[in-house]
Amino acid sequence: MLQPLKKNPKFTPRRGPVVLAILDGVGFGKYVDGDAVLAANTPELDRMLKECPMTRLKAHGTAVGMPSDADMGNSEVGHNAIGCGRVFSQGAKLVEEAVETRKLFAGETWKKLIANVLQNKSTLHFIGLFSDGNVHSNISHLKAMVLEAKAEGVHRVRIHALLDGRDVPETSALEYIDPFEAFLAELNKEGVDYRIASGGGRMVITMDRYGANWEMVRKGWEVHVHGNGDFYQNAHEAIVDLRAKTGAIDQDLPPFVISDDGKTPVGAIEDGDSVIYFNFRGDRSLEISAAFEEDAFDKFDRGRRPKVLYAGMMEYDGDLHVPQLFLVNPPEIDRTMDEYLCATGVCQLAISETQKYGHVTYFFNGNRSGKFDEALDNYIEIRSDVVPFEQRPWMKCAEITDKVIEAIESGKYRMIRLNFPNGDMVGHTGSMEAVLVAMGALDLCLGRIREAVKNAGGVLVISADHGNADDMYEHDKKGNVKLDANGAPCRKTSHSLNPVPCIIYDPESKNEYRHELRDGLGISSLAATCIELLGYEAPEGYDSSVLDFN
C-alpha cells in the first residue's frame, strides 16, 4: 500500500482540476515539408505555444525504454512512461536481451513448445508483424527463433506474416518478404520444411485492439488457422498481385493463403501444433490470444478450433495473465501516478475513444487492467467509428471534449487525463490532407477545453506520447523529400523521432515557477509535473518535472 503524497509547500493548488491532454502523434517536425502539425490551421495550439510556458520533451529511444535512440517511440511505451514517471526497459529491449543472452531459449515455455512439436511430429507456427519497426515486433527475433528451432530438430515451420507499412515505409513488404524467403530456402536445402503460409495487412487481419473490430481477428483466424482465403504460390506473388488489384498500401492489403496446388493450404494449423505469436506489444495481441485460448469465446464462430500449445512473445495482460504461456517477462512497472493519487484521495478521470482508451487506462497504469480505487477512479470510453481514419479524420475528438468539459464543470475531479488519437491514427494513413483536417478539428477542441479550464480556475497540460503527424513525407539523408514515380511526395506512415510539446496553461498562476520550463527531459517528466501542479511533492525516484520553482 502506497503512502499518501506529501503536500508541496512551494505551490498552492488551483481552484480547478489539472487536465492532462495527450495529443497522440503530435510532435515538432524536423522538416517543414511534410510537417502537418505546422501546416495545419491551429490558432489555439499556436497561441499557447507562443504565450504559455513551453518546452520540448523526448518521446523516443532510450527516453522511453527502447533499445537505442534510433528506435521510434510508440503509444504503449509512451503512456507507460507518462503514467509511471520513470523509464523502464520495454518490450523491444527486453526481447532483444532475451534473444542475445539465449535466456528465451533456456526458458520453460520455449522448451515446452519445441518438445510438443518433436513429440507429435507436428508443426511450429509463428504469427506476427513482419518488419523491423520495433514497435510491435522485430523480424530479427523471428529469424533467431527459426534458427534455434532448426538447431533443436524441428522439421516443419510455418510463418503467418502480418504486413506492416505503418511502423516502416508503406510499401516496403517485399524488402522483408524476399530476403526472408531466401533465408528459408537456404535452410530447406538442409532437409527441413520451412515456409511462409499466410499473410495480409495488419489493419485488415488479426491485429485489432480494444474490441474495435473483431472482424479483423476473424479474418486472421480464417487464413492462419483454417487456410481459407485467396490462394497464391508464394508471398511475393500475393503481394504484387494484391497491390495491383487494390492499390492498397501494405497495412491494408487483403489476406492471402499459400498453396502449391491451388486447393490445399500449405500451413493450416492442426491439432498437436505449437503456435507462437511473436509480437511483443500487448494491445494488438490480446484478441488473437483470446481466440486461441478462451473456451467460452463468443466474438465470432471459430469453426474448427485446433488443440494447440499457444504462447505469446510476452505476457500481454499481467492482471488477467494473458496468454497463459509467454517467452519473455514484461517490465514490472509499479508506483504509477494514478496509484499514488488514489492513495492520496484524489478523484480522477481517464477518457479517450476506443482506439486509445487502453492507453490512458491500462498502459498509463503500468500495464494494469483494473482500477486502483473504484471510488476515486473513473474511466470513460467513447466507441470509435469502424471506418478508415482518413475518411473521418476528426474521429471522436468532439465527443471526448464534450465529456471532458462536463467533467471539468462538475467539480468532481482534481485530475483529468485524456487522449486525442487523431494525430497518430490519421497520421498512419499517410494522407497529408486528412491529417490537416484532423489537426484542425483537434485545435477546435483544445480551444473549448482551454476555455473550460480557465473558467474553472484549473491548469491544462498539453503534451504527446510520440510524434507522427509532424513527419508525413519520406526524406533522404540530405533532407530532401523523396518523390514517387509520379513525382508526388513519398508518404510516411510511421512514427517520427521528433520531440513533443509540453505546454502549461495556468491562467491563475501566482508565479510560483519560472516561465522557462526545464529542457532536455523526456515525457516521463509529465507525471511529476502533474503531481506538483496538484499541490504535492513528486514521489522519490520519479523523473524531474518541467517546473522550476522560484
Concatenated DSSP letters for 388-423? -GGGSTTTTHHHHHHHHHHHHHHT--SEEEEEE-HH
| pLDDT tens digits along 401-439 | 999 999 999 999 999 999 999 999 999 999 999 999 999
What is the Cα 154 distance to its own chain's centre? 33
Q: Which one of 75, 463, 496, 525 is the catalytic residue?
A: 75
Question: Where do the domains of the chain lie?
Answer: 18-86+333-533, 92-328
Contact between 227 and 197 (Cβ < 8 Å): yes
Query: Across 285-325, where does the E strand assignment appear?
Result: 309-314
CATH no. of 92-328: 3.40.1450.10
Residue 61 per-residue DSSP state: G
| pLDDT tens digits along 441-471 | 999 999 999 999 999 999 999 999 999 999 9
Cα separation, 437 vs 74, in Å, equals 22
**Mean per-residue pLDDT, 486-511:** 95
Which of 31, 179, 106 minimizes the C-alpha distance to 482?
31
How large is the angle between the packed helices 75-84 and 525-533, nearest 10 degrees? 40
Residue 539 per-residue DSSP state: P
Averaged pLDDT score across all residues of the chain: 96
- In sequence order, the β-bridge partners of residue 549 are 513
Q: Which residue has the cell 517467452?
A: 327
Contact between 122 and 274 (Cβ < 8 Å): yes
* Residue 282 falls in which region: left (phi positive, over 0), alpha (psi -120 to 50) or beta: alpha
Fold of the 18-86+333-533 domain: Alkaline Phosphatase, subunit A (3.40.720)
Q: Which residue has the cell 534458427?
A: 147
The enclosing H or E element of 373 equals none
| pLDDT tens digits along 356-410 | 999 999 999 999 988 999 999 999 999 999 999 999 999 999 999 999 999 999 9
Query: Of the ranges 9-18, 64-73, 166-175, 266-275, which one carries the lowest mean pLDDT score?
Result: 64-73
How many C-beta atoms lie closer than 10 Å to residue 296's C-beta?
4
Cα separation of the two ends of the chain: 33
The model's pTM is 0.83
Cα separation, 148 vs 20, in Å, equals 46
Query: Please, which residues have CB within 8 angstroms of residue 161's CB and are 6 or more apart in sequence?
Result: 128, 130, 177, 196, 198, 199, 235
Active site residue 75: yes
Q: Is the pLDDT of residue 110 over 70?
A: yes
How large is the angle between the packed helices 432-456 and 397-410, nearest 10 degrees? 10
On the 0-12 / 13-18 / 19+ scale of CB atoms within 10 A, 276 is buried
| pLDDT tens digits along 135-147 | 999 999 999 999 9
Query: Please, which residues have CB within 8 angstroms of residue 365's CB and are 6 or more apart in sequence?
Result: 83, 336, 338, 339, 372
The enclosing H or E element of 103 equals helix 103-106
